Structure 1
Amino acid sequence: MNNRLFYILILCFVQVNSLMGQREVKPAFVNQYEKIIQSYPEIHTGTQYIETRRSLDGHPYYADAQMEKGSLSIDGFVFNNLPLQYEIWDDLVLSFSDSFKQKMILNHAKIDRFVLSEGSVFVKKPQPEGYSFHKSGFYREIENGIIGLYCKHRKQRKQETSTAELIRSYEEVEKFFVEIKEQMLPVPAKRKVFALLGIDKKIAKKQLRKEGLRFRKHKEAYLQALVTLANQKENND
């Protein structure tokens, strides 16, 4: 019993030191977080977020490792200037609780949309058929029209071998989808994209050459240009 108690105390000590070592969040964030919790208590899962893969180089977040101001939409209500961070290893939206002095996991089932400080917009979407990394269902919105364009961001472990040592770090993976008639479809091979979007291949390639876009080098901008053409065609028909 004494040994068991000793190990529990050691575990608690390590956890507390881990929490204290995290970056301090700006005090201005606290009031906004408490306000949303009072209005929507179910948004709070009650779970503290602890970054567990500290041995990897880099971080598990989208864009920035630091928590910044953002906005959150729940049931049509928008909360601005919230402390927000998007963790794309487990697909989690995080905020900050003054009560626990810690990052907290928000209930993804209650969130319709959120916007990060650098302007990226993420929306909840239905799971594409056969796509296993859907998780909480947040996709970055690139184009929102009759035909939409979205990107799923996630991070995974990258292993690179060198003559000196094994380097372990995060690797970000992007998967693009088009939304047609409320169905999320993965972007196919380049030769099949034109038919999927219902646009003339010759006209589309002329526009792509004009903008200097290539599928492999500028994939997002390339797809966005095609989806824009497709929406123009839909609006004119």
Structure 2
Amino acid sequence: MKSPVFLVFLVLFSFAVEAYAQGGSGLEVKYRDNITLDQEVVSGGYFVDPPKEFEGHPYFFTKNFEQSDITINGLTYRRVPILYNIWKDQVLTFQPIHKQKILIRHDKIDAFTLHLDFPVSFIRLDENPTYSHHGSGIYEYVGEGPSRLLIKHRKQTKPKREFSIYSEVFYETQDYFLQKNGEIIKISGRKQAIDFLSMDPKEVRKSTRDSNLIYRIDRRGYLSFLVSLYNQAQYDKK
């Protein structure tokens, strides 16, 4: 019987055809150099679903595989079926012959984008030393430029208090970070974010009021707005 690694490689090979068109002969050489790595990429083994006694699912946004783009060892593959398990911080693809979820080795992943009703982009960071939930290092990112917002999506379980067929239930939480010039800090308050980006509090207050953004209500929206203001100010200085 063919190994799951070989079978999934065949699937990813079909997705990789589009990669040939991305950069001409140079990319073709790079692709051929990485063929052996492609087989290793999916050698994380089969994924074991959580116990049936757990209510909910461990995935980001949806439990269905979504067509996605993923960059592995510098090569981008298009229209790959992907699930992001935020309980274990694992990225999965689908092995169609045996209908199995397969783990993609996190250390081979550079970035990926899930195409839901809206695209959501993730990047893998090698380290975030002061953060205890770094896991495989996968963070959603918002913003392109000198600064960006990083969001760590996590799911945990807690016991069901009421009588139920379920013993545990999944719940989701997020941690927010700002990255600037390679430095990353976890954000616990509005003032901390403003100080880190060296912004004028009065100008920020006016701009966020004009945009109806309140930190305690919409942390993601507020912080991504600060990032866009900061990046625009840096571009204007050039």
1:73 matched residue in structure 2: 71
Q: What's the CA shift for 1:160?
A: 5.2
1:203 matched residue in structure 2: 203
2-structure distance, mates of 1:223, 1:152: 14
The alignment's TM-score, normalised by the length of structure 2, stands at: 0.80
**Overall identity of the aligned pairs, in %:** 27
| Alignment deviations for residues 90-144 of structure 1 (CA, whole Å, 9 cap, x no partner) | 1111011235431100111111011112111111113222211111111001112
1:103 matched residue in structure 2: 101
* Amino acid in the other structure paired with 2:60: Y
Question: Residues 33 and 95 of structure 1 are in contact (CA less than 8 Å); yes or no, is this contact kept in structure 2?
Answer: no
Question: Residues 34 and 97 of structure 1 are in contact (CA less than 8 Å); yes or no, is this contact kept in structure 2?
Answer: no
Question: Residues 89 and 155 of structure 1 are in contact (CA less than 8 Å); yes or no, is this contact kept in structure 2?
Answer: yes
Question: Residues 53 and 167 of structure 2 are in contact (CA less than 8 Å); yes or no, is this contact kept in structure 1?
Answer: no
Question: Residues 93 and 101 of structure 2 are in contact (CA less than 8 Å); yes or no, is this contact kept in structure 1?
Answer: yes
Q: Describe how 1:76-95 pairs up with structure 2 within 5 A.
A: 76-95=74-93
Distance 1:44 1:31, change over 3 A: closer
Q: Describe how 1:147-162 pairs up with structure 2 within 5 A.
A: 147-159=147-159, 161-162=161-162
User: Which SS does the other structure have where 2:129 is aligned?
Assistant: coil
* Amino acid in the other structure paired with 1:229: L
Q: Describe how 1:1-237 pairs up with structure 2 within 5 A.
A: 32-35=11-14, 39=35, 40-118=38-116, 119-159=119-159, 161-162=161-162, 168-237=168-237
Distance 1:187 1:46, change over 3 A: closer
Question: Residues 128 and 186 of structure 1 are in contact (CA less than 8 Å); yes or no, is this contact kept in structure 2?
Answer: no
2-structure distance, mates of 1:130, 1:53: 32
| Alignment deviations for residues 11-53 of structure 1 (CA, whole Å, 9 cap, x no partner) | xxxxxxxxxxxxxxxxxx9964354699311111251011123
Distance 1:125 1:151, change over 3 A: same
Question: Residues 32 and 81 of structure 1 are in contact (CA less than 8 Å); yes or no, is this contact kept in structure 2?
Answer: no
Q: What's the CA shift for 1:158?
A: 2.8
How many residues matched?
A: 208
1:7 matched residue in structure 2: none
1:21 matched residue in structure 2: none
| Alignment deviations for residues 130-183 of structure 1 (CA, whole Å, 9 cap, x no partner) | 211111111001112101111011100134534x56863111110111111212
Question: Residues 33 and 83 of structure 1 are in contact (CA less than 8 Å); yes or no, is this contact kept in structure 2?
Answer: no
Distance 1:227 1:46, change over 3 A: closer
1-structure distance, mates of 2:223, 2:63: 28
Q: What's the CA shift for 1:75?
A: 2.6
* Amino acid in the other structure paired with 1:138: I
2-structure distance, mates of 1:230, 1:53: 45
* Amino acid in the other structure paired with 1:222: Y
Question: Residues 160 and 167 of structure 1 are in contact (CA less than 8 Å); yes or no, is this contact kept in structure 2?
Answer: yes
Question: Residues 138 and 152 of structure 2 are in contact (CA less than 8 Å); yes or no, is this contact kept in structure 1?
Answer: yes
Question: Residues 30 and 98 of structure 1 are in contact (CA less than 8 Å); yes or no, is this contact kept in structure 2?
Answer: no
> Which moves more between the two structures, 168-177 or 181-190?
181-190
Question: Residues 122 and 140 of structure 1 are in contact (CA less than 8 Å); yes or no, is this contact kept in structure 2?
Answer: yes
Question: Residues 148 and 224 of structure 2 are in contact (CA less than 8 Å); yes or no, is this contact kept in structure 1?
Answer: no
Distance 1:159 1:105, change over 3 A: same
Q: Which runs of 5 or more residues in structure 2 are unaligned?
A: 1-7, 17-33
For the pair shown, the structure with the greater C-alpha radius of gyration is: 1
